[in-house]
Amino acid sequence: MGVTATFTHEFCSSVAPPRLFKGLITDSSNLLPKLLPQLIKDVTIIQGDGEAGTIEQVNFAQAIPFKYLKHRIDVVDKENLVCKYTMIEGDPLGEKLESIAYEVNFEANSDGGCICKMTSKYNAIGDAEIKEEEVKEGRESSIGICRVVEAYLLKNPQIYA
């Protein structure tokens, strides 16, 4: 494994942490293809039961320049609302990256919503350099997906209540 670059970002949501965790983490394989069919064709579990050790394959819609990616779920802590997973294979890794490790934390804020904190560790192949501007599109895309799920949950308060 080569150079590692770490980037963090966060966003605030008015959705309660357990609901957003469920929508973005534990039920994302069902919810994301439903809400974002123009991006995600389907999510298939290759191995496991959704807990640590599970391998998921995300198949992208035809309009997306990537075909697929595979994630390995490393930690799903439903009590503390933390998920750690690693992109281990797929087109988004390109020729520079061996893997990308993610950690997502959902913390309650004072208005009943939450702060979602995301850390991404990009593990380069060899001496390849990873610059922040190169990961900007991926970060913006992930925040966009979070906002779509947030809007859906705000519009449907009974979901994951």
Residue 81, by phi and psi: left (phi above 0), alpha (psi -120 to 50) or beta?
left
Is the pLDDT reported for residue 35 higher than 80? Answer: yes
Contacts of residue 160, defined as CB under 8 A and 6 or more positions apart, other chains included, come to: 18, 19, 22, 23, 27, 153
Give the mean pLDDT of the chain.
93
The Cα–Cα gap between 92 and 68 comes to: 8
Is the pLDDT reported for residue 12 higher than 60? Answer: yes
Under the banding of pLDDT at 50, 70 and 90, the label for residue 72 is very high
Under the banding of pLDDT at 50, 70 and 90, the label for residue 131 is confident
Domain-wise residue ranges, the chain:
5-155
Please give the share of the chain, as a percent, with pLDDT higher than 90. Answer: 77
DSSP state of 93: G
The Cα–Cα gap between 72 and 60 comes to: 17
List phi, psi (to 5°) of 118: -125, 130
**CATH fold for domain 5-155:** Alpha-D-Glucose-1,6-Bisphosphate; Chain A, domain 4 (3.30.530)
Angle between helices 132-155 and 28-35 (to 10 degrees): 90
pLDDT of residue 132: 79
List phi, psi (to 5°) of 13: -135, 150
Mean pLDDT score, 121-141: 84
